[in-house]
Amino acid sequence: MVVGVDGSAASYAAVGWTAQEATIRGLPVRLVHVVAPTSMSSTEAPNSTITHEQEVKARHVIDQARRIVDGVQGEARLKVRVEIRYAGVLATLVDASRDAHMIVVGARGFDGFGWHMLGSVSAGLLHHAHCPVTIVRDPESAGREIHDDAPVVVGIDGSRASEAATALAFEEASRRRVPLVALHAWSDVGVFPILGMDWHVYRDEGDEVLGERLAGWQEIYPTCRCTGDLSATFRPAGSSMSPTAPNSWSSEAGAGAASTACIWVR
């Protein structure tokens, strides 16, 4: 399991999460710290070499990450590999994902000047990584504690990527021995009753998509407690159906959008 660490609180939370998961899965951990080139560092250290100050900071970040791993793993001695790279952050992590079981990063990190980036690296990984991507939020930004028995939430839309996400969700819920909530969002945009269009048809189609996508996996994981849920993004005029708020499930989840750890599958 590969984890990108840059010294931010979120990245250290990602290291802790990765160490826990690696212990459960029996996988090695690869700590990757990337020193992004800047115009200033390029002047002080030409020929793509790292400056002394950058090296000192990098070693501090890696040492702290190692201490976090050591504190989590307990008696189970994980195989840990560390890397310090002087290159573009996103390109380096995408390359590291090629032979990774999973790549993990914090929801927010630092840029080359020590400022917080608004998830640009994590967003880039979602589009370009070659393995599942986990985004971990630090405890302060999460705003609440996620309990060990919190459910895994997976979004299902019937696509190929959705099928891969469903497979991982069942695996995660089974491994953690927690419930699984499968969520399918539908919208009544474009439904015009005056033209004889019935929003119930769209709701029923959503039910079918959800049922079809869950049927096979429920047989593979018979002990997994799975609940299907439809989320309407708009409430039809005059109906009594209340739409589910986008984050209502995710705020309770142990693995899902807006929770402490979110896993994306491409």
Question: CA geometry: angle at 37 spanning 57 and 67, to 5°?
Answer: 25
> Edge to edge, what strands does the sheet with 226-232 contain?
152-155, 180-186, 226-232
Predicted pLDDT of residue 259: 42
What's the CATH number for 152-256? 3.40.50.12370
Which residue stretches of the chain have pLDDT < 50?
41-43, 46-47, 111-118, 232-252, 256-259
Q: Return the axis-axis angle of helices 199-220 and 160-176, rounded to nearest 10°.
A: 50
Q: What is the average pLDDT value for the chain, to the nearest integer?
A: 76
Sign of CA dihedral 235, 236, 237, 238: negative
Predicted pLDDT of residue 175: 86
Predicted pLDDT of residue 138: 76
Question: What is the Cβ-side half-sphere exposure of residue 43, based on CA atoms within 13 angstroms?
Answer: 3
- CATH fold of 2-142 reads Rossmann fold (3.40.50)
Pair 260, 158: CB distance under 8 Å: no
Q: Quote the tokens at residue 5.
A: 């660490």
The DSSP code for 34 is: E
Q: Return the axis-axis angle of helices 89-96 and 120-128, rounded to nearest 10°.
A: 40
Question: CA geometry: angle at 134 spanning 187 and 130, to 5°?
Answer: 95
Which position has the token pair 């001695």?
Answer: 77
The DSSP code for 59 is: H
Domain with CATH 3.40.50.12370 in the chain: 2-142, 152-256
**Interatomic CA distance for residues 140 and 9, integer angstroms:** 9
- What does the CA dihedral 24, 257, 252, 217 come to, rounded to 10 degrees? -60
Predicted pLDDT of residue 162: 81
Predicted pLDDT of residue 142: 55
